[in-house]
Amino acid sequence: MLQAVMTEPGRIMFHQIDQPVPAAKEVLIRIKKIGVCGSDIHVYHGLHPYTSYPVVQGHEVSGEIVAVGANVSTFAPGDKVTFMPQVTCGKCYPCRHGMYHICDDLKVMGFQTSGAAQEYFTVPTDMTIKLPENMSYEAGAMIEPVSVAVHALGRARENLTGKQILVLGAGPIGNLVGQVAKGLGAKTVMIVDLSDFRLEKAKACGIDFIVNPEKEDLHAAILRDFGPDKADLIMECVGGEPTITQAIACARKGTTIVVVGVFGKKPQVDLGLVQDRELSLIGTLMYQKQDYEKAIELAEAGKLCLEPLVTDKFPFRSYLDAYHYIDSAKDRAMKVMINVG
């Protein structure tokens, strides 16, 4: 079978290797679609702090089961699936207390261990998630980033029904955070970005208010669209000092800010305002199985608009071309999909 290996930043080589055989509690998946995410792009540029080379990428994935291990009874050949890409120790404090997604020895397929950028891939059954038969493989590959959004909103530990949510960043994750918030009952969602293309994409996906702070004052827009009570919850989905500064400055007293974006550089944060206004800064990382289940539930209920986020598609052999395109298209490339099978 064919496998794509990133041998060094900016270089992908294809190899023919033996097709894997599922162990007793594993399934063998014929990989169909792989989504390219922001973290993958960091690896491509050699900027991911926790990835070494060579590495096989691929963690936003969908496929079809073609074989099961001897002790597998919950899956069968023909099942449409995705999987959770975490590899955990099961022994540390987080794992022992139900927080395996922040395992002390966490490894993620496609980063610290091999991912699914190959024609066939084996996955343990406890990390495999069955997809609805009527769900497209492209939508199936997007359940992983949707689960990021579900988990991030859950970190606020609030009932979102009737709430007003401010999302900073209209990239794929920010867009999905906004959509999931609406799907979970939020009254209104405002999304903020410097890219008019991404803002219009968010509007097309059902986000209520869009704001480009280079063209209008964000504080004024919040008061206009949310009223004097401002946002009930703020989601920072960029990972930059300007946006976390915006989040703190725009927050009403007592607001929760969930930090979803991955920060490449350490930001300077005005902790004086955080303290004085009793703001809550909460981090979020990845997801758990229930987040996948909720993501699939929202998609099945028609509460998510996934297909329009797939802006571009590349054949498996053109994996590197996808990265070149992302670099050149910049903000106009939302979710780029690799067609494997």
The pTM for the full model equals 0.97
Looking at CATH, the fold of the domain delimited by 2-142+306-339 is given as Quinone Oxidoreductase; Chain A, domain 1 (3.90.180)
The 3-state secondary structure of 95-139, one letter per residue: HHCCCHHHCCCCEEECCCECCCCECEEEEEHHHEEECCCCCCHHH
Distance CA 242, CA 24 (A): 50
Greatest CA span in the chain, whole angstroms?
A: 62
pLDDT at 38: 92
Please say if the pLDDT value at position 49 is more than 90.
Answer: no
Sequence ranges of the domains in the chain: 2-142+306-339, 151-283
Please say if the pLDDT value at position 210 is more than 90.
Answer: yes
In the Cβ-directed half-sphere of 255, how many Cα atoms lie within 13 Å? Answer: 24
Mean per-residue pLDDT, 14-27: 98
Please say if the pLDDT value at position 125 is more than 90.
Answer: yes
pLDDT at 264: 82
Percent with pLDDT over 90 in the chain: 97
For 226-284, what is each residue's pLDDT tens digit?
999 999 999 999 999 999 999 999 999 999 999 999 988 899 999 999 999 999 999 99
CATH of 151-283, one of 3.30.70.360, 3.40.50.720, 3.50.50.60, 3.40.190.10: 3.40.50.720
For 158-207, what is each residue's pLDDT tens digit?
999 999 999 999 999 999 999 999 999 999 999 999 999 999 999 999 99
Closest CA to 51 of 4, 88, 18, 6: 6
